[in-house]
Structure formats: C-alpha cells, structure tokens
Amino acid sequence: MKIILVGFGVIGRGVAKVIDEKRKSLKEKYGFEPKIVAICDSSGAAIDENGLDLKKAIEIKEKTGKIVNYNGKKMSSVEVIENLDADVVVEATPTNIKTGEPAKTHILKAFENGKHVVTANKGPLALYFKELVESSEKHGVMFRYEASVGGAMPIINLAKETLAGNEIKSIKGILNGTTNYILTKMEKEKLDFNTVLKEAQELGIAETDPSQDIYGYDTAAKIVILANSIMGMNKTIDDVKIEGITRITPEALELANKSGYTIKLIGEVKKNKLVVEPRLVQLDSPLNVKGTLNVAMFNTDLAKEVVIVGRGAGATETASAILSDLINIHLKAKEK
Ligand code: HSE
C-alpha cells in the first residue's frame, strides 16, 4: 500500500513511527506492507516512490521543523495528492473547527483522484460529514476516521461493526482528554485552571488552539461525528448546545465531592439532541474516569449498556486507530 502522509506534527510523526516499528509484524500478520511515498507539511514535501526512510524523515522534521529539508520538494500537499501515485492519503494536519481546512480540501482532492482516506481530523468531519461521505461513495473509495473520536478508544468501529444489529439509542461520555486532565488535577491537587491547562499543553494532548478543548468545541465536534457516523444523523457543530469548563473551580469540585459526585465535561447525543456541558457524575459511576482518559457509554436495544474506556489523545494512541483503519482498508481491498 502506497501512502501519502499529509501533516507531520505529533500525529503524523506518530503514524510514521508506528509503521516503521511494526513493519515486520504487519507483514507477517496481515500481509500488509505500507510504504509512505510522500510526507507533506506546510514547508513542502519529501517524496520517494520506493518508500521514504521514516527514521530519517522524523529526525529531519524534529531537528529543522521542515520536511522539505529531506529531499527538497517545494510541492504543496494538494499537488502531491493530485500527482503522485498512491493508494491512501492519511490526513493529519491540525484540526480547524471553524473552516475544516486545509483538511477538507486534502480529503476531497484525494477522493477525486481515486485515493482512499484515513483521517484523525475532526474539523472537516464535524462541518461537512455528508459531503465527504457522499464524495467518497461517488468516487468508489474508502473513508475511515476512527482516530477522530476518542483516540485509541475504538468507538466508531465498535458501534458500527461489533455492535452491528443493535439500535444505538444514545451515546454519552468524556471525549476530551485535556478537560478531563484539568478537572482531575483541579479536584486532586486544588490547582487553578491556568496552571493545569499549561500542563495539559506540555503533555501534547491539548489542541494547537486549546480554547477548542476548554470551551467544549472539541467534544462537540466528536459528538457530531458520532451522531452522523453511528446514529445516521446529519448534524453539524452548530446543532450542538455547548458549554465548556471555564467556570468550574476547585471549590465547586470539592463541594460536589462532599455529596458523592464529581464534575465532568460530558458530551451526549440522543434523539436529535446534541449537548456538551459540565455535569455532576456520581463518584462510583463508570463515567468517572481520571486524567487524560476518555470514556463512552452506549445505550442500545439489545446489548443494553456498553461502556468503553481508553486513551483519547497522544501520538501513539492516535496512531493506533489510524493504523487499524489502514489495515482494514488493506484487508477490504484484498477481498475485492
Ligand atoms: N485535544 C484533544 C483532547 C485531542 O484533549 O482530547 C484528541 O482529540
């Protein structure tokens, strides 16, 4: 499988690293031989149709900040997507929740050029889900986005594949690691909001623009993706009632604790109602997960309640979901 990797930040490098490290077992277990033929960032591209040296690419990017220094191709991501022979585009540029760009353009260009897409990018999915899915169908290519919600937590595939046949009545949970980390630290160590936010940024889990996390937009984007992809809705982020965590204080958490509760930023989708808001959660609830963990509770007709917990952010964790989508595409393409 020839792959174009667009975006070489924390997530893009995580994907390259995991592919490089797992080469042998991927071939043995799945007959899967991924070859990254191009890596693009805003400086240009590194291209090698025989497969790039991923260790070297990561080293150059980390040393100089620019992938163009690998072998100096001043091509834009769109030019690479349009002109280079490849099977799949992995879109890993930073999320933009207001415009969905540049990821939306990358994804549509990939489809138009007959390339499958795997992405972790929430912006285009939360804003243009229907348009993207329709375009992938029109061009007969696969579109997978497990990494966009809950990082390593296999939430979309769990619902669509493992819980197939169930009616999913509602999904609620904690879908943002940054705010969960902040609330957990404020509760445990009585630290103020800004100090903990800084720590979350240092951990590399916060968005490039952390206001997306703390005002609830990141959770809202994920709720929209779940509503559309799992529950067959056609929503955008404008349909979500959103409140973030900026008003929560260590004192509020202490008070909640005294009555057997904690406060969590909960996202919920049910019957055309999409909400993100801080809620009281019982201390012994399965939704009371700590630190950067994410959790989701499905309410279904047959299986009843199903709860899944996992790491919602991080380079390797997100790469885990991207890799599973790539393997899935490889296996499906082989069936054809
Ligand atoms: N900023 C996001 C979070 C990253 O904190 O959960 C993963 O989507």
pLDDT tens track for 42-100: 999 999 999 999 999 999 999 999 999 999 888 999 999 999 999 999 999 998 989 99
> Which atom of ligand 1 lies closest to the CA of 175?
6
**213 CA distance to ligand 1 middle (Å):** 7
| Integer Rg of the chain from CA | 20
222 carries an active-site annotation: yes
Note whether 210 and 178 are within 8 A (CB): yes
pLDDT recorded at residue 67: 96
Q: What is the pLDDT of residues 304-314, one digit of tens each?
A: 999 999 998 88
Amino acid at 304: K
> Cα 96–65–215 angle (5° rounding)?
25
Q: What is the pLDDT of residues 280-304, one digit of tens each?
A: 999 999 999 999 999 999 999 999 9
Pocket test for ligand 1, best of 213, 219, 318 (most atoms within 8 A of CB): 213
Q: What is the pLDDT of residues 153-186, one digit of tens each?
A: 999 999 999 999 999 999 999 999 999 999 999 9
CA 216/CA 75 separation, integer angstroms: 36
| Catalytic option among 109, 115, 222, 235 | 222
CA 67/CA 56 separation, integer angstroms: 10
pLDDT (mean) for 181-192: 92
**277 CA distance to ligand 1 middle (Å):** 16
Query: Residue 242 pLDDT more than 90?
Result: yes
Pocket test for ligand 1, best of 202, 207, 266 (most atoms within 8 A of CB): 207
**212 CA distance to ligand 1 middle (Å):** 9
> Which atom of ligand 1 lies closest to the CA of 200?
5
pLDDT recorded at residue 192: 84
pLDDT recorded at residue 159: 95
Residue 107: closest CA among 154, 145, 152? 145
Mean pLDDT (the chain, rounded): 95
pLDDT recorded at residue 64: 97
Pocket test for ligand 1, best of 155, 176, 294, 318 (most atoms within 8 A of CB): 176
Q: Does the pTM exceed 0.85? A: yes
**177 CA distance to ligand 1 middle (Å):** 5
Amino acid at 123: G
CA 127/CA 321 separation, integer angstroms: 21
> 3-state DSSP call for residue 7?
coil
> Which atom of ligand 1 lies closest to the CA of 120?
8
Query: Residue 208 pLDDT more than 80?
Result: no
pLDDT (mean) for 316-321: 94
Nearest C-alpha to atom 8 of ligand 1 is from which residue?
313
Note whether 235 and 270 are within 8 A (CB): no
**324 CA distance to ligand 1 middle (Å):** 19
Cα→Cα distances 7→106, 158, 165, 170, 334, Å? 11, 27, 36, 33, 27
pLDDT recorded at residue 268: 98
> Which atom of ligand 1 lies closest to the CA of 212?
1
Lowest mean pLDDT among 3-7, 147-151, 264-268: 147-151
Asked if omega into 102 is within 30° of 0 (cis), the reply is: yes
Nearest C-alpha to atom 7 of ligand 1 is from which residue?
313
DSSP string for 204-226: T-S-SSTHHHHTSHHHHHHHHHH
Write out residues with Cβ below 6 Å of ligand 1.
Answer: 151, 176-178, 205-207, 213, 218, 312-313
> Which atom of ligand 1 lies closest to the CA of 180?
5
**148 CA distance to ligand 1 middle (Å):** 9
User: Which run of H or E residues covers position 116?
Assistant: strand 116-119
pLDDT recorded at residue 326: 98
Say which residues have a Cβ less than 8 Å from residue 232's Cβ, sequence separation at least 6: none
Query: Residue 336 pLDDT more than 80?
Result: no
